[in-house]
Structures are given as C-alpha cells and as structure tokens.
Structure 1
Amino acid sequence: MKRYKSLVFSMAVLAGVLQQSCTKNFLDYNTDGRGATPEEVQRDGYILTSALTGLQAWVVPLDVNTNQFVECLLGGSFSGYLADSNNGFNGKNFASYNPENGWARVAFNDIIPNIIIRHKKVKSVTNEPVPIAVADVIKVMAISRVTDIYGPIPYSKIGENGALEAPYDSQEEVYNKLFEELNAAIKVLSENLQQNFSPKADNVYAGNVVKWLKLANSLKLRLAMRISNVSPQKAKEMGEQALQQSTGLIVANADNAFVKPINRNPFRVIMYEYNNGDSRVSADITSFMNGYADPRREKYFTPSAFTTGTNGFFGLRSGIQIPSGNNIKLYTNMKVDESDDILWMNAAEVAFLKSEAALRGWQGVGGTAQSNYEEGIKLSFEQWGASGAESYLANTSNRPDSYVDPMGQFSYTGTPSRITINWSEAATQAEKMERIITQKWIANFPLGIEAWSEYRRTGYPKLMEVMQNNSGGLVSTSRMARRLAYPQEEYTENSKNVNDAVTNMLKGADNMGTDVWWAKK
C-alpha cells in the first residue's frame, strides 16, 4: 500500500472518482460513468455523489477489513464493548496490548489518506459552499478519531509544497486546526440553512443542511469536552459557542447521525461471518447492564446460547487467552442486521455532554446536570425502542454485576464499579462524573473509539483488567492501553518527522503506555 505522502503528492495527476475500497487498494479509482457523458454526469451530480459518499465511508469505516481492525479489534476491545473470539488472535492482539504492526497501522495508514484525498476530491468537483462545508465536518470527525488513537499526527502539512515527507502536528495543534475548520464550516452552514443539496450525495442526512449544522455544533461540543482537563479555557470557549449557536445541537433522535452502509453493515459481517464471528460482546458492558436490569439489553444483544444455567446475556471477557472450540461462539453477540445504519453521534451523547458541561459551570447549557443526565437516558431508551426509562432512572440500589463466566474460566471476583443509576445531588463531583460517563458509555454502544477516548479522559467506566498483558511492562494493567504506536513504515519512510514528533510532541516513548495530550486520568 502506498504511503499517504506520495498519495497526496499524486493528487494533481489522479483522475476519476473515488469509490469505497478495501484497505489494500484504496488507490483503485472507479471512473465508470455508467455510460453518461461528462456533461450528463456533472448535471446529475454523479461526481459529487460519489466523492461525498466515498468520504463518508471513512469516518466509522464501511470497508469491512478496516472496520474490523479499527472498530472491533481496537475500539471494541479497549472500550469494554467487544471481545476477540478467534483464538488465532492470541498473543499478538490489541486486547493483550501486543498488536502486530499490520494491526496497529490501519487507522493511520488507511484512514488518513482516504480522508485527505477524498476531502480534496469533493472540493475539486464542486464550488458550492454547502457540500464543501459538509465535507469539512466529515473530515474533522474522522481526523479527530485518528489523533485520539495516536496523539500527534501529520495533518496540516500533508502535501505542503508537494513534499513527500509530511511533518507532524502536535495533538494540541491538530485540535486547534479542527476547531478552526469546524468553526468555518458552521459559519457557512448557518448562512445557507435553506440550501439543501442532493439527497443522493449524502448517506447521512440526505442533504439536509440544518441537520448537518446540528451535527457540527454537537461535534464541536464533543471535542471541547475532550480537551477540558488539559486546556480548560479553550474547552469552555469552544463548548459555550457550541451550546449557544442559534440552530442548536442534536437534541432529538430524529437528528441522530447514522451513515447508511454502502453494501452490508460491516459489524454484521465481522460478528457473524468471519470464522462464524471474530468478536463477541464484552463481559464489561453485559455486567453493567445485567446489574442494572437494563431493558435495552434485548435491543443491543442476542442472548447467550449455553445449554446449562441461565441463558441470559453473558459477554466474553476481553484480554484473555482465547480457548479453542465452538463454545466461544455461545457467548452473547451484537444484534445487528446487514442493512442497519452505523452510528456516528446521537442525541443521548449530546445530553450527557450537556450534563457534564453543567457540572463544569459552562454557560448556555439549558437545564441542570441532573435534568440533562436523565434526558440522555430517556433519549437512549427512545432510540432503541425500549420501555421503562422512568423506573430505570428512579432505581437507587442496582449496581453493576460481578462477572460469572458460563465456562468457569474467566470470572471476575467483585465488580470494578459500584455506581448506581439514580441521580444524587448530594454525591461528590467524582461520583456525578462516573454516573454521567457510565450512562453515556452504555448509550453510545458500539462507538468503541469514542468510548475508549472517554475512558482515558475520565477513568470511567471502571472496566475489568485484562488477564493477559503481553506488553512486556509497557502498558499498565490498571491504566490499560493509552494510545497506539506509530506504524513501522513511518520509521523507514518518514523517519525525521516521526522521530521529531516522538521527541518534541508526544513527550514519552512511542508505545501503548504513553498518554496522549488530553488524557489526564
């Protein structure tokens, strides 16, 4: 696979329309105009459709191979959402903190180039301000996820002066650039609220500008909260701007951001078809939801299929020595169909962000920490079509369950968390934060990269420690993985810049135990 530097350098001579592609041949261009002349293609918006939907396919990757590495094996393992169930992964996987370079490189070497070149493609096929602003929002969302995985990354200087070697930006510089780009997009969208564009060119909101503006504001609030422990003034400024922007945030499930799969939902393929399922639902989230008697379980998960005992919702523990045999397939799985849309951001998350903003004293929240916390839970129940939100909110005694493994090998004595559901104004700030983040974590399933980022920022939810830590002492079992190391290709093809980033920006060794800039807990 060619590197992103030569990829961007070559854009001037590349032609055709990018389509969704597998990780090994993202430079394959599809120039089939279905027999249309260039004039007809332009008239029908076919080029814009292909370019913009192709860009949308790389936020939460719709390519199955990339999705497996980034969303399931990486984000799923580190978030407490999913666990590896293929014993061929033993020894060198994310869950045991010892991934091969072929695993650790994917989010860097696949997502960065696809986002950069597809974003530039959108700008090359239209001069309309709205689709370009939408493309900017998409790019910000995608790049924020990549920098949260690695820390400093090449971003603002990719392709500068035709350079094949791209210098890195510090993570603080990346975030400053993301806010700058997001603010510019928000300005354009707010000035063009009536300028909806072709529904065919948009697999998220069918060209609805108001909904894109609400997503942009909500994303800005998410990113502001991410840096709140390390840059509180900047976070407050950006967060309050998002809270007070006139069009508002995603506050109703009708405005949730989901992308339509181009072919089949990749989670379905990975959880059911690859080796009869390469991942299963994690014991972490089932233990929390079992303890809470959460009515959303039957919406999220399939019951386990063990023939002895209760066939309830038993997830598989992450970071174990995965046993051989078919019993591993009996654990709870994700309930997902081939045609299901893939979540980017929902109203429940925004409500929990507002709850934390109120806790921090930010202006423009609307409501209290408690009212927004409770609204987040209600919105999540509504999103999933689950009943019983009011009684769930009133519960003062239920706590996460201890994990009793149906196979008897991976049980966990005690429980990492004792947090209850019902809001208590008399609770400490730390307890209120744990309550907010725990319920946001449940509501955000299966957004693993986002959940892992919030875990590193806050320390919540409290997850079970892995049983197999194969990092050789580089990763603390109690603090868990903090980032991914840079791909080995960076040290052979971009050595000066990656070494500069590690020495002057990362402020620590290039391994999974070093914190990214905003991670304080």
Structure 2
Amino acid sequence: MKKSIINLLFSASILLTTSCTSNFEEYNTNPYDANDDQMQYDAYSLRAAMVAMQGYVIPADVNLNQFTECLLGGSFGGYLADSNTGFVGKNYATYNPEQHWIQVPFNDIIPKIYANQTQLKNVTTDPIPLAVADIIKVAAIHRITDIYGHIPYSKIGVDGKLEAAYDLQEDVYSKMLEELDHAIEVLTPNQTSDFSPYADKVYGGKVLNWIKFANSLKLRLSMRIVYANPALAQTKAEEAVNHEVGTMLSNDDNAYNTVSKSPFRVVMFEYNGGDSRVSADVTSYMNGYADPRREKYFTMSTFEDTDNAAFDNGYYGLRSGINIASSATAHKYSNMNIPESYNKLLWMNAAESAFLKAEGALRGWNMGGSANDFYTQGIELSFNQWGVSGAGAYAENATSIPENYKDPLGANDNSGVPASITIKWNDADDFELNLERIITQKWIANFPLGHEAWSEFRRTGYPRLMEAPYNQSNGIVDGTEMARRLPYPLREYKENSDNLQDAIDNLGGPDNMATKVWWDCKNKN
C-alpha cells in the first residue's frame, strides 16, 4: 500500500533539483501517508469486509438462509415446516438431515466470518470498526456453537481455515463475553464517533446503537448459560443492564440488516412454489390467544371447497416433521407474510431484551425493575414493532390458552400443542409457570428467529412444541426431547480429525443429535 523505498529515493532526488513552487502537491505530500487512491481502496475494503460480515449473522444469501434459518432453525424452533415432498425423510424436521445440510453452518459461516474480519484488520487500525466487527463476529458465531457445541474459535487460522484445535463451548462463551466487554469498553467513550454508513447495513454507522446491541447480546448470552454457570450469568447480565448506555429500550434500537430482498421471501414463495410454510406450533399458540399480530406474521390458508377442509380458511400452519404427501396441498397452509419489497433481516429486537430482563428479575437479579413490568413491556414493544394495537388487553388476558391443533384436512396427527399457559402475569404462580410464560411470549415476539427459539427451547423446555410424527432418526432422537444439537460435518472427520476427536471426547455423549451441548443442563440441576 505504501510507496517503495526506490520511489521514495527517486522523489527525494527530484526535490533536490526542482523548484519548490512547481508541482507543490506532488512533491510536498508525506510519502508515509496513504494517497487518495489508497485511502479509497482501504475505505472500500473496510466497507466490503464489514458488510460481508453482517451478511453472515442471519445469512442474507438465499441458499444459506434456507439451510440455516428455514430448514434448521425454523423447523427446530417451531416457526416453520417443510412443504417440499423431496425433503421428506432426509430433513431436519424428521431428524435425518443429509450431510450437505449438516455442514452448512460450520463450513460456510465460520470461514467467511473470520476471513472478512482478517481483511478488515488488514485495512484499518481504527478501534471503532474493529470493535464493531468483534460484536458482529459474536452475533454470528454464538449461533454456530449453539448448533454444534465445541467449535474452533480462539485458535482458528487465518482466512477462516478450520483446521484448528477446538475450544470447549464453555470457553467459547467465556471468550465471547470477554470480546463483547472489550468492544463495549472501546465504544462507550466514543459513542458519538459515528463511522461511514456505507460500511454498516444495520445501524448506519451509529456507534450508540452498536453499544446497545452489544449489551443486549451480552444479556442474551448470559441468560443462555444460566443453568451451566449461574454466577457468571448473573454477573454479566447485571453488567449489561446497568451499563451507562444499557440495552435496547425501544424499537428504534432493533437490529435489522438491510438487504436487497428478503431471502425468506424467495424461499417461502419462489422456490418450488415455496419450500417451507408456517409451522402449526406457532399458529396454534397465536390462534388460541387470538393474537392480533397474526395478520402481520402470516398469510391466510388457501383451502378450497374441493379440499373438504374442516373449516373456513384462517391461520393454519403445517405440522412440522410429517410425511408430506403433496407439495401442492402443503402450499395451501399459511405462509409468512413477506411483501415482495421487504428488505430487512431481524437480528434482535427490544422486545427480546425486555423479556430477558423479565427472566433476570424473576431469578432475583438486579434488572432495574420487576419481572411483571418487563414482561408487559416486552409485549408492548412487540405489538408496537408490528404496528398492532391491543397490547394492554392482550397482556390482561388470563383465560386464553394455546389452541389444540387440528389439521384442517384431517391428514396429519392431531395430537395438539402440549401447553396450557395463559398470558396474564401472576406473581402468585410458581417460578416455572412464570418462566414458561416469559419464554412463550418471547418466542412469539422473536418470530422468525428460529435458532434463538430452538436454543431457548433446549435451555428451558419452553415453549412446549409438538413431536415430529415421522421421526427418522433410527431411535437416536427421543421425540419428547427433540434434537439437541447437530453432529459435526464429515469434512471435519476428513480434514481435522485429531482436533475433532478431542472435541468429541469432551461432548459427554456420542456425536449425534441427541447429545446435549454444555449449557443445555437444566434437568441436571
């Protein structure tokens, strides 16, 4: 990037023989500073690396998004159901995914995050974008460790190469919390020092918003480890909430990545007429609660008289984990409501931050308010996010429970949602009942963040989801426990076998979908 020594000596000789007034700009430029072309190259490289990193948190690429958000997170989180007959028996929903599905989060996300962060470090020493990049890395990689457990993290090679020793998941979480702490420490005194909006598709370069997101993410990670390391969980959660900037408080703080077009729109509507539909789990809860957000989340079903549907069209989700008989029929169930022009990908919202505080307060932590107050606040924030009225009446509903699922066509198992949790907060209820209440409402508010839903289901057991009727795991996955993680990709067995074996030896069980990750230990406690 700098001029060579030869060029510098040549320029010096010119200065000795040339008038000081001619070619002033050319000869009186500090040769150790980058010129305009170099600065523009660096700025472009910085923008490219930052934007690329952001595109791998919730993948903006359609194919990656389908594998990670729709087929994996959507299925396991109770939000989406596969509607393509070609997936039956070899998908996540039936616990028998193909190998090229299993490897996507590991082999396609981790290398891209690290390679782009390395590129960023090569073109800038500015601590502000570097701190933001650390936040983005944690936002992306915490989802990967939650999928597999132990992963390469602190020892990973340059350019994102994965042939590295694994960190135990406990150590990954400790390192991620340290990185968030460092980023917050760097950004807090620079909270008005905004950077180029062209390098930031989430907050337009607003440093203050990145601090709020970092604290909210820190709160999320702290709560994730509450059963594995309760002392650290409380300490870090209280730090996040009581920081001078604090967490997300309004929907103006919500983290969205701006993309050219929602990949969910392509997957849900354009691929084969839509490879996924809305899950019967989430529609059963929201139908039972007469939730006014349904019209914002879902389209109506499109059954016809010839289908002999049991009732009129409504918000009827497709049962996840079934043996789909016909894609054309599956496409008649409710879909996500995504306008063609919609170009936002949600990372995290203020409602989740409020529900996390509600759980912290329920546990007796210093969250700055009561569990009831934060719980009600979370509902209000979600309603406002979607432009829906009636949050007050909804929060006061003490009688409605999730609807018992019944397939409109009578074609699939009608075992129903195994939940009877009501909405209205009740201090007199025991801890578990109020915890289920918080997690259920957070789950509804977080739609369509399937990975977060799946992680919270594993951590807490809530919301209560329907079993997959067509379990193809050959007895490995218990229908009531459901999938707890993904096995490592075969590529790791071939290319990183020694390091992988060390990780497997520390899993606490075989490398399959039934073995629990480190923080998934509520029942042990």
TM over 0.5: yes
Correspondence for 1:230? 228
User: What does residue range 24-35 of structure 1 map to in structure 2 within 5 Å?
Assistant: none
Q: Give me the whole-angstrom Cα distance separating, in 2, the residues matched to 1:520 and 1:155.
A: 22
Amino acid at match of 1:355: A
Asked if the contact 1:218–1:242 (Cα under 8 Å) also holds between the matched residues in 2, the reply is yes
User: What does residue range 83-102 of structure 1 map to in structure 2 within 5 Å?
Assistant: 83-102=81-100
Correspondence for 1:362? 365
Q: CA deviation at 1:340?
A: 2.8
Correspondence for 1:239? 237
Amino acid at match of 2:291: D
Correspondence for 1:343? 346
Any idea what SS the aligned residue of 1:139 has?
helix
Correspondence for 1:128? 126
Asked if the contact 1:150–1:484 (Cα under 8 Å) also holds between the matched residues in 2, the reply is yes
User: What does residue range 327-406 of structure 1 map to in structure 2 within 5 Å?
Assistant: 327-338=329-340, 339-363=342-366, 365-406=367-408
Asked if the contact 1:458–1:520 (Cα under 8 Å) also holds between the matched residues in 2, the reply is no
Amino acid at match of 1:92: K
Q: CA deviation at 1:480?
A: 0.2
Correspondence for 2:9? none
Q: Give me the whole-angstrom Cα distance separating, in 2, the residues matched to 1:324 and 1:395.
A: 38
Structure 2 gaps of 5+ residues are: 1-34, 306-310
User: What does residue range 188-337 of structure 1 map to in structure 2 within 5 Å?
Assistant: 188-261=186-259, 263-308=260-305, 309-337=311-339
Q: Give me the whole-angstrom Cα distance separating, in 1, the residues matched to 2:65 and 2:162.
A: 27
Q: Give me the whole-angstrom Cα distance separating, in 2, the residues matched to 1:165 and 1:300.
A: 41
Asked if the contact 2:145–2:169 (Cα under 8 Å) also holds between the matched residues in 1, the reply is yes
| 1:103 aligned to which of 89, 101, 104 | 101
Distance 1:374 1:472, change over 3 A: same
Asked if the contact 2:300–2:335 (Cα under 8 Å) also holds between the matched residues in 1, the reply is yes
| 2:410 aligned to which of 390, 408, 411 | 408
Amino acid at match of 2:376: E
Larger gyration radius, structure 1 or structure 2: 2
User: What does residue range 12-51 of structure 1 map to in structure 2 within 5 Å?
Assistant: 38-39=37-38, 41-42=40-41, 45-51=43-49
Asked if the contact 2:225–2:519 (Cα under 8 Å) also holds between the matched residues in 1, the reply is yes
Correspondence for 1:10? none
What RMSD over aligned residues (CA atoms) do the two structures have, in Å?
1.6
Asked if the contact 1:484–1:512 (Cα under 8 Å) also holds between the matched residues in 2, the reply is yes
Any idea what SS the aligned residue of 2:81 has?
strand
Asked if the contact 2:84–2:276 (Cα under 8 Å) also holds between the matched residues in 1, the reply is yes
Q: CA deviation at 1:114?
A: 0.5
Q: Which moved more, 1:194-203 or 1:331-340?
A: 331-340
Any idea what SS the aligned residue of 1:342 has?
strand
Any idea what SS the aligned residue of 1:424 has?
coil
The count of aligned residue pairs is 482
Any idea what SS the aligned residue of 1:259 has?
strand
Deviation sequence 1:271-313 (CA, Å, 0-9, x none) = 0000010000000000000000000000000010112421110
Correspondence for 1:480? 482
Deviation sequence 1:192-213 (CA, Å, 0-9, x none) = 1121001111000000000000
Amino acid at match of 1:124: N
| 1:116 aligned to which of 111, 114, 117 | 114
Asked if the contact 1:319–1:466 (Cα under 8 Å) also holds between the matched residues in 2, the reply is yes
Q: Give me the whole-angstrom Cα distance separating, in 2, the residues matched to 1:507 and 1:458.
A: 20
Write out the 4+ residue segments of structure 1 that deviate beyond 6 Å after TM superposition: 160-164
Distance 1:197 1:403, change over 3 A: same
Correspondence for 2:440? 438
Q: Give me the whole-angstrom Cα distance separating, in 2, the residues matched to 1:483 and 1:266.
A: 24
Amino acid at match of 2:65: N
Is it true that 1:452 corresponds to 2:454 in the alignment?
A: yes
Q: Give me the whole-angstrom Cα distance separating, in 1, the residues matched to 2:188 and 2:414.
A: 51
Distance 1:304 1:399, change over 3 A: same
Deviation sequence 1:93-135 (CA, Å, 0-9, x none) = 0000000110000000000001111111111111111111000
Q: Give TM-score scaled by structure 1 length.
A: 0.91
Sequence identity percentage:
57
Q: Give me the whole-angstrom Cα distance separating, in 1, the residues matched to 2:389 and 2:160.
A: 57
Amino acid at match of 1:512: M
Q: Give me the whole-angstrom Cα distance separating, in 2, the residues matched to 1:162 and 1:227.
A: 27
Asked if the contact 2:111–2:160 (Cα under 8 Å) also holds between the matched residues in 1, the reply is no
Q: CA deviation at 1:37?
A: 7.7
Correspondence for 1:63? 61
Amino acid at match of 1:514: T
Amino acid at match of 1:520: C
Asked if the contact 2:191–2:208 (Cα under 8 Å) also holds between the matched residues in 1, the reply is yes
Amino acid at match of 2:282: I
Any idea what SS the aligned residue of 1:506 has?
coil
Correspondence for 1:29? none
Asked if the contact 1:225–1:353 (Cα under 8 Å) also holds between the matched residues in 2, the reply is yes
Q: CA deviation at 1:356?
A: 0.2
Asked if the contact 1:403–1:411 (Cα under 8 Å) also holds between the matched residues in 2, the reply is no
Structure 1 gaps of 5+ residues are: 1-35
Q: Give me the whole-angstrom Cα distance separating, in 2, the residues matched to 1:302 and 1:161.
A: 42
Q: CA deviation at 1:412?
A: 2.0
Correspondence for 2:515? 514
Any idea what SS the aligned residue of 2:402 has?
coil
Any idea what SS the aligned residue of 1:509 has?
coil
Any idea what SS the aligned residue of 2:331 has?
helix
Amino acid at match of 1:196: D
Q: Give me the whole-angstrom Cα distance separating, in 1, the residues matched to 2:137 and 2:415.
A: 43
Any idea what SS the aligned residue of 2:418 has?
coil
Q: Give me the whole-angstrom Cα distance separating, in 1, the residues matched to 2:183 and 2:218.
A: 11
Distance 1:164 1:46, change over 3 A: closer
Amino acid at match of 1:270: V
Amino acid at match of 1:207: G
Q: Give me the whole-angstrom Cα distance separating, in 1, the residues matched to 2:313 and 2:357.
A: 38
Any idea what SS the aligned residue of 2:347 has?
strand
Q: Give me the whole-angstrom Cα distance separating, in 1, the residues matched to 2:162 and 2:417.
A: 51
Any idea what SS the aligned residue of 1:326 has?
helix
Q: CA deviation at 1:48?
A: 1.4
Distance 1:281 1:304, change over 3 A: same
Asked if the contact 2:152–2:162 (Cα under 8 Å) also holds between the matched residues in 1, the reply is no
Q: CA deviation at 1:385?
A: 0.5
Deviation sequence 1:70-97 (CA, Å, 0-9, x none) = 0000000000000000000011100000
Asked if the contact 2:103–2:488 (Cα under 8 Å) also holds between the matched residues in 1, the reply is yes
Deviation sequence 1:325-384 (CA, Å, 0-9, x none) = 512111000011343301000000000000000011112x12100010000000000000
Correspondence for 2:175? 177
